[in-house]
Amino acid sequence: MKTKLLTEQDIAAAAAILRDGGLLGIPTETVYGLGANGLDPMAVRRIFQAKGRPQDNPLILHVPGSSWLERYCREIPEKAYTLAEKFWPGPLTMILPRREIVPDEVTCGLGTVGIRCPNHPVTLAIIRTAGIPVAAPSGNLSGRPSPTCAAHMLEDMDGRIDAIVDGGPCGVGVESTIIDLTSLVPRLLRPGGLPLEALQEVLGEVAVDKAILAPLSAGEKPKAPGMKYRHYAPKAPVTVVAGKGGRTAQYIREQMGEHTGVICFDEYTDRFPGCAVEAIGSSQDPGEQARRVFDALRAFDGTDVTAIFAQCPGDAGLGLAVANRLKKAAGFQVVDLGEDEA
Ligand code: TXA
Ligand code: MG
């Protein structure tokens, strides 16, 4: 199969691919997605094949607004509409009880479905033109860092899907925040482009799923099945070094060797002579870190780097999502130097 590159003008052609059961790379504000008709079981199965995705990892349905919630979800609490009103279109996925019309292929047999309205004009236009909800995981091969531009998606998906719509680089850079609204206390299943603090302002108490902060022990099941897999991983192993910037930079200097790659904040780029260095933004700017973290993880592939060390932001704001992606890329291999400055 030859994978076509479409432009923002090709809305009708893109919608036709979806309606015909094909696979389409779609730009969103978070990361590029691998979309298919979310009501067509055969089309959805092709997503799993193209990505090499485990069969027990459900997909998010993308809709153009909260007026479509009733079509695919039931027992929708008022707070779902409040959240949609405030944060949609935007990087928030809500887990709600599903209706029968949503195929098992999307939910992997769960009684719930993840639903989100992406904030990208081109993809919203494609969904509206096609008139169907779009099931879409991130557009990477399973286990790889998520793509934040069309070229990165093509790297992983060339020859596997019908087309990719180039909608420019993603403005947020990490995937959506996932909130489970089916429990009494709403539960954060994945930190993402919408900060936890913003959800707490609307919802009050929010429980934080254990799988976000630490590896699960054998036999433990995360609420979001995807959180159990090693993820976002470049080819070389990653070690995350948590703590104050100066100390973490010093620690990495002590470890570094000939083929070391370093992911660091802008302030520290000149501390690692002889290493391959990827800066992800100022230590004070988690928004910029979010935009650049996946590109940094991808950048070492195809180089002679055999070990990667990464400085890691604190948990405030988008820092929670950036830290989670780095720790998952590291398989939770974390050196924690604590909060003291050396
Ligand atoms: O920003 C995003 O959310 C991107 C763009 C393309 O929209 N999509 C994305 O999809 O990140 P994916 O498939 O890479 O991650 C979806 C996560 C997985 O961890 C999956 O297990 C979880 O959402 N998930 C999906 N449906 C669920 C459900 N019904 N209950 C619990 N977790 C669910
Ligand atoms: Mg993904």
pLDDT of residue 84: 98
pLDDT at 342: 52
For residue 98, give the ligand nearest its CA.
1
The CATH number of 4-212 is 3.90.870.10
For the chain, 342 residues long, the average pLDDT of each consecutive 10-residue run is 96 98 98 98 98 95 98 98 98 98 98 98 98 98 95 97 98 98 97 98 96 81 77 87 96 96 98 97 98 95 94 96 95 88 54
What is the number of the ligand 1 atom nearest to the C-alpha of 175? Answer: 1
Tally of CB atoms within 10 A around 202:
15
Q: 340 C-alpha vs ligand 2 centroid, how far in Å?
A: 34
Give me Rg for the CA atoms of the chain: 20
CB-defined site of ligand 1, < 6 Å: 28, 30-31, 33, 57-60, 91, 93, 95, 107, 110, 112-114, 116, 118, 136-138, 175-176, 178, 189-190, 223-227
Q: Per-residue DSSP letters for 32-61?
A: -EEEEETT-HHHHHHHHHHHT--TT---EE
- What was the pLDDT predicted at 167? 98
Domain parsing of the chain, residue ranges: 4-212, 238-336
pTM (2 decimals)? Answer: 0.96
Determine the Cα–Cα distance for residues 330 and 315; give it in Å rounded to an integer.
17
- Provide the CB-side half-sphere exposure for 221 (13 A, CA): 4
Check if the beta carbon of residue 224 is closer than 8 Å to that of residue 211. Answer: yes
Look at residue 338 in the predicted model and tell me its pLDDT: 85
Predicted local distance difference test score (pLDDT) of residue 221: 81
Q: What is the pLDDT of residue 293?
A: 97
Biggest CA–CA distance in the chain, Å, is 60
Q: Is the peptide bond before 133 cis (omega within 30 degrees of 0)?
A: no
Task: Identify the helix (H) or strand (E) that includes residue 251.
Answer: helix 245-255
Pocket test for ligand 1, best of 63, 87, 175 (most atoms within 8 A of CB): 175
Judged by phi (left if over 0) then psi (alpha if -120 to 50, else beta), residue 302 lies in left
Residue nearest to atom 20 of ligand 1 (CA): 226
Element housing 263 (H / E) = strand 260-264
The confidence score (pLDDT) of residue 341 equals 57
Give the environment of ion ligand 2: residues with CB less than 5 A.
138
- Closest CA to ligand 1's atom 22: 224
Helix (H, G, I), strand (E, B) or coil at 113: strand
Is CATH 3.40.50.11030 correct for 238-336?
yes
Residue 306 Cα to ligand 1 midpoint, Å, equals: 30
